[in-house]
Amino acid sequence: MIPFFTTFIGKTAKDRVGRVLDQGWLNEGKQVQKFENRLSRLLDLPNLLTTNSCSSALLLCLFDIGVKDKEVILPPQTFIATGMAIMAAGGKPVFSDIDPNTGNLDPEKIEINEKTAAIIPVLWGGNPCELDKFPKNIPIIQDAAHALGSTINGKSIAHFSDYTCYSFQSIKHLTTGDGGAVATLNPSPKLKRMKWFGIDKGNIKRDELGGRIPDVDLFGFKWHMNDFAAPLGLANLAGYKRRLNRRRKLANVLTKELQDVPGIHLLKQNGESAYWMYTLRADKRNSLCSKLNGLPFSTVDYGIHKNPIFDCKKELPGQELFDQTQLSFPVHDQINQDIIEEIINRIKGGWQ
pLDDT digits (tens, 9 = 90+) for 69-100: 999 999 999 999 999 999 999 999 999 999 99
What whole-number distance in Å separates Cα of residue 339 and Cα of residue 2?
A: 9
Q: Residue 289, class by beta-carbon neighbours within 10 Å (0-12 exposed, 13-18 middle, 19+ buried)?
A: middle
Question: Residue 352: how many CB atoms within 10 A of its CB?
Answer: 9
Mean pLDDT confidence for 2-24 = 92
Are 13-201+215-237 and 240-348 in the same CATH fold?
A: no
As a three-state string, the secondary structure of 261-296 is CCCEEECCCCCECCCCCEEEEECCHHHHHHHCCCCC
Quick one: what percent of the chain has pLDDT higher than 70?
100
Q: Are 217 and 198 in contact (CB under 8 A)?
A: yes
Asked if pLDDT for residue 210 goes beyond 90, the answer is: no
* pLDDT reported for residue 202: 80
Helix/strand/coil for 212: strand
Average pLDDT, the chain: 96
* Predicted structure pTM score: 0.95
Mean pLDDT confidence for 193-201 = 91
Range 13-201+215-237 has CATH code 3.40.640.10: yes
Mean pLDDT confidence for 299-316 = 93
* pLDDT reported for residue 73: 99
What whole-number distance in Å separates Cα of residue 326 and Cα of residue 282?
A: 7
CATH class of 240-348: alpha beta
Question: Please, which pLDDT band fits residue 274 given cuts at 50, 70 and 90?
Answer: very high
User: What number of helices (H) and strands (E) belong to the chain?
Assistant: 10, 14
* pLDDT reported for residue 161: 97
Higher pLDDT, 206 or 145: 145
Residues 182-194 have pLDDT tens digits of 999 998 889 999 9
Domain spans in the chain, listed from the N-terminal domain onward: 13-201+215-237, 240-348
Closest-CA residue to 157 (of 171, 168, 143): 143
Question: Please, which pLDDT band fits residue 2 given cuts at 50, 70 and 90?
Answer: confident
Question: Please, which pLDDT band fits residue 339 given cuts at 50, 70 and 90?
Answer: very high
What is the number of alpha carbons within 13 Å of residue 72 lying toward its C-beta? 34
Asked if pLDDT for residue 1 goes beyond 80, the answer is: no
Residues 216-245 have pLDDT tens digits of 999 999 999 999 999 999 999 999 999 999
Question: Please, which pLDDT band fits residue 214 given cuts at 50, 70 and 90?
Answer: confident
